[in-house]
Structure 1
Amino acid sequence: MPDSTSPVSTQSAAALLVDCLAKQGCERIFTVPGESFLAVLDALPDRPEIDVVTCRQEGGVAFMACADGTMTGRPGVAFVTRGPGATNASIGVHVAHQDSQPMILFVGDVARPMQGREGFQEVDFPAFFGPICKWAARIDDPARIPEYIARAYAVAISGRPGPVVLALPEDMLVEQVPAALAPRPFAVRPAQAVCPDAMRALFDMIADAASPVAIIGGAGWNAKAREYFQQFAERIGLPVATAFRRQDAIAPDSPVYAGNLGYGPNPKLVERVKNADLIIAVGARLGEATTDGYEVPTLEHPGQTLVHIHPDPEELGRVYRTDLALCCAVDEFAECAALWDSSDIIPFDAGAQANAEWAAWSTPQPSDAQIDLGLCVKAMREALPADTIIANGAGNFAGWWHRYWRYEASPGQLAPTCGAMGYGVPAAVAASLRFPDRTVVAVAGDGDFLMNGQELATAAQYGANLIVVVIDNGAYGTIRMHQEREYPGRVSATALANPDFAKLGEAYGAWSTRVETTAQFVAALHEAKGRSGIRLIHAVTDLERIAASGATISGLRARAKA
């Protein structure tokens, strides 16, 4: 027997934490280093299977982790320091929460003896992050690290996916724990199985419907859900609309695809949803953006039957009156729907009609604009591979891509449903690192780009390949649009004096060019396509043409004064 007096082998709590992440399958960590988690940084080189990406600002860190979780379906992992680092990163936590994407944010915290004294950069992180994440906690006992990490992974991906935040007191990380303290195995909380009775009721409703429509995309949506739901919808001719910024939830060449809801949708699609007698929402929360302020459909939707399928029971019936609720994984539901006997359903003509309406709406028509963004998107569709990933932040500029791009890949769209500016460039960097063989394009407005454009330095450091298109109209365009509608002609705080973005791109090592016409854009695109590394196209546009819907500044003023 071993000598009971012999020393017990130990390791640091930080090393145990890194071991737990490795055992959970963590492949990549995004970080801005901080002194509060130096012990973790010291432990990471012993786990070469974990790639460490050093970013330039914690907002970029969190956006990259959120995008990585979106692409993999597993939690994107981020490490930031306390106080300013954590508050900077909170924007990415908010996006992951509202977008229903799995993510784990680790925050280096003040030492335990300093807590509650408003120590240097101290924040009560469970209280601060609690309202915008699924679970926020502090690990005070290093022996419980395996428990906390396993729970964090389970919470982040179960039900409605979302972010978890764990604070790590810096003195806890350097404590010694027994080396025999092993990581806990990964455990998934199983989603409720698809109920046969509910499925039977749903198919009876479909058989009785005259004008049904589906709204899809959201919590837990994946390639399996896309494949099977598309099979089901095409078999019965069901029109399928995607929720806001969920356009890769169905193949755009599907004969029943009806387009996307959200900001600037096809008016004919809006009318179709308003006039539907049966609405089948799968995965979507039916949030404010998707439903145009809870009006399409309305909360009580008189004369309409609403079926809501979602993996989280807390979402069902929480906002909308629901006639039939199914709590289950959306991919399991889609497979069940695809295999269910639908012989009693006479296929609808509405799917083909809705698709034709979308095809007309999403085909750009030439205009007299110096640089016609609709035609620019069309040129991108013709020049770039079908599996190109488009990443964008928030702003009216994104509307041209939402309307005219075909999101053929899955994943193919990285876009914040909560409307956070500055998301596109970090998300594109994460996508380039995750899928180095695919074309990745970041589309950013001028105001949007300057919120996280510094992450081009991260892209350069790690050899990322991406194309960046900066749409420069010299304004915070979305706010200017609302301003002109509410206070026509009274411009306040929305004008921007911008740098030369092409020269700024060159400073980051990018091939860059400035374009002012559609022809110049097309030529620049083909030049960029033939190159590697960072390529930046600075597209100078006319503020007058402020939205992809066709809205103009002069038109907004005229309507406001009428």
Structure 2
Amino acid sequence: MDKIIGGKLVADALIERGVDYIFTLSGGHITPIYQFLENSKITIFDTRHEQAAVFMAEAWARMNRKPAVAMVTAGPGFTNALSGIASARLSNAPVILIAGCVGLETAEKLDLQDMTQLPVIEPMVKKALVCHIPERIPEFIDIAFRTAMSGRPGPVYLELPCDVLNATVDMAKVKKMHTTLTTKPVDRENTRKVVDLLKTAKNPVVIGGSGIWYADAGREFVEFVEKIGIPAFTAGAGRGVLSDLHPLCFESSLAIRPGGAMLALMSSDLVLFLGGRLSLFYIFGEIFPASAKFIQVDIAPDEIGRNRTVDLGIVSDTKAFLKELNSILDEKAIGDKLKKQYQPWVDTVRKADLEGKDQAKAMWECNTLPIHPMRLAKEVNDFMNLEDDIIVADGGDTSTWMGMTRTIKKGGTYLDYGLYGCLAVGLPYAIAAKLKHPDKRVLAIMGDGSTGFNFMEYHTAIRKKIAIVVVIGNDQAWGMIMHSQQLRLGHNIPNGTELGWVDYHKMVEVMGGFGICVEKPEDIRPALEAAFASGKTACVNVKVDPSVISPGSVALANLGGYKCN
């Protein structure tokens, strides 16, 4: 019988878990795993930078609502992965990062790429593990998968020293474990109290956050909204679980989006906050009236009560909560009564929604040169009009414009950097999206600043024949910082904000992709048509007006610790 080493146990455990892809950049410390993944059921998806590998795993985990695996080598490979893990923590993505490290026998000997990795990443993950005994590798992989998906999903770190991976295993001592958690807790007693608060409300709103998406509670959310006729908003990964085209959906809960969100949130008397985080995006809770009753439902107890007093906090899986709530509403047969009670409020929110969109119409239809960035967002939104079309947004101002514009009809079809706000996600997210949905149209829209971070992932997409279209809103600057400086200081500091023009489209062409430059608004749609028709990885480089200041830049200059005195 051939000897079995630790690296084979890793590969076997990941194969047994049904892992499809491992997003990775190779290195000597993880070669003992690579050798057993070659020609296996798992695809080794190699990137040009470890950061991109983890971002791809994050997007894969978010879209599939199950663990995704990234694997990196020791030292610099590990440190390059950290931004992706920080992003996964705040997006609730169950990413399992496997990293090699120097062997136990060479610790503190100044071996190649030696560093103490565990204390660096421990505060960033749900659990940080190191396996020192090769026979226990399957147990540690089981712990990683269980932890990533228990409670609120999130990243887990597993470190495997290279001599553990190369060690011969005594198979009699190996325990092959595979536990999957399926429990969905619900607080029945407090759920009944929600109905009492709904009865007394005149101006209620419900906000469906990322927890709705991760719990696969879209159907229950729609049923609840329709059952009582309550104005609904979505946020984070929850965008699209209720289509923006639904008559009771008023799109994103972000107040800067043209529509009814600002009025509704500021005038509500009851807020039902489901699976979300009361963050900067809600002015740390201050956008809601202090007098409004606030109900917060979350799988994580420590999230309830962040940034404001909560009148009713319920620790529950959102799907189980909504099932229970819908059942109680049916039992009490009060849906029609609540619909009638809320109708004047729905009419008020709808009027505000129409007025808000009407005020934004001039920007969406702007014909000035250089191109208004919101006109670019509108052209992209209109072109990507199929329910299953996927858009990824990256960049400061560019993500803001797209977030203010995108009509989302289905969950899991819009990805951006969310709370962590890390630029560079655009190409990795889009590549992962196309891997998952090879028959769907995938478009990334990003700023020229964010384009520079993971630019060589164009090469990854080209060499792997992944036909994504990337639109660059090129304002020749770090726009959000430039504009926020102008608002704070009266001018921007050129060193650190101005980039100048770059022919990114020509760089993509040189690597074998499709490239085109656009300078007029009427040429945007033909360029998108040509890019998709090319069947290649494509770059549409659009010259946009650098003088236009987005609401995101205004917020950056005036909120929280960024505000200048």
Q: Quote the Cα distance in structure 2 between the aligned partners of 1:268 and 1:222.
A: 26
The residue that corresponds to 1:145 in the other structure is: 137
Q: Which has the higher helix share?
A: 2
The residue that corresponds to 1:495 in the other structure is: 498
DSSP-derived class of the 2:38 partner: helix
Cα 1:249–1:116 shift into 2, 3 Å: farther
DSSP-derived class of the 1:213 partner: strand
Deviations 1:92-113 (A, max 9, x none): 1000001111100011111112
Q: How far did 1:9 drift?
A: 6.4
Q: How many residues align?
A: 541
The residue that corresponds to 2:377 in the other structure is: 377
Answering whether residue 302 of structure 2 is matched by residue 314 of structure 1, we say yes
Query: TM-score if structure 1 supplies the norm length?
Result: 0.91
Q: How far did 1:438 drift?
A: 0.7
The residue that corresponds to 2:243 in the other structure is: 251
Q: Quick one: which amino acid aligns to residue 376 of structure 1?
A: L
Cα 1:356–1:378 shift into 2, 3 Å: farther
In structure 1, runs of 5+ residues without a counterpart are 1-7, 553-559
The residue that corresponds to 2:99 in the other structure is: 107
Q: Quote the Cα distance in structure 1 between the aligned partners of 2:81 and 2:488.
A: 33
Answering whether residue 547 of structure 2 is matched by residue 544 of structure 1, we say yes
Q: Quote the Cα distance in structure 1 between the aligned partners of 2:303 and 2:109.
A: 38
Correspondent of 2:422 among 417, 420, 423: 420
Higher mean C-alpha displacement, 150-159 vs 331-340: 331-340
Q: Contact 1:263 / 1:292 at 8 angstroms: preserved in 2?
A: no
Q: Contact 2:215 / 2:318 at 8 angstroms: preserved in 1?
A: no
Q: How far did 1:330 drift?
A: 1.6
Cα 1:247–1:356 shift into 2, 3 Å: farther
Answering whether residue 21 of structure 2 is matched by residue 20 of structure 1, we say no
Cα 1:316–1:110 shift into 2, 3 Å: same
Q: Residues 327-476 of structure 1 correspond to what in structure 2 (within 5 A)?
A: 327-341=315-329, 343-344=333-334, 345-347=337-339, 348-349=342-343, 350-362=345-357, 364-365=361-362, 366-370=365-369, 371-384=371-384, 385-417=386-418, 418-476=420-478
Q: Contact 1:154 / 1:189 at 8 angstroms: preserved in 2?
A: no
Cα 1:38–1:530 shift into 2, 3 Å: same
Q: Contact 1:100 / 1:161 at 8 angstroms: preserved in 2?
A: yes
Q: Quick one: which amino acid aligns to residue 391 of structure 2?
A: I
Cα 1:163–1:50 shift into 2, 3 Å: same
Deviations 1:265-309 (A, max 9, x none): 348522321221111111102222x21244223xxx631211111
Deviations 1:400-451 (A, max 9, x none): 2111111112211111111100001110001111110111111110001111
Identity %: 26
Deviations 1:39-59 (A, max 9, x none): 01111025x211110100011
Q: Contact 2:11 / 2:36 at 8 angstroms: preserved in 1?
A: yes
In structure 2, runs of 5+ residues without a counterpart are 556-562
Cα 1:328–1:12 shift into 2, 3 Å: same
The residue that corresponds to 2:558 in the other structure is: none
* Two-structure CA RMSD over aligned residues (Å): 2.4
Q: Quick one: which amino acid aligns to residue 293 of structure 2?
A: T
Q: How far did 1:223 drift?
A: 7.8
Q: How far did 1:551 drift?
A: 7.4
Q: Contact 2:389 / 2:442 at 8 angstroms: preserved in 1?
A: yes
Q: Quote the Cα distance in structure 2 between the aligned partners of 1:240 and 1:523.
A: 36
DSSP-derived class of the 2:93 partner: coil
Q: How far did 1:125 drift?
A: 2.3
The residue that corresponds to 2:37 in the other structure is: 44
Q: Quick one: which amino acid aligns to residue 507 of structure 1?
A: V
The residue that corresponds to 1:4 in the other structure is: none
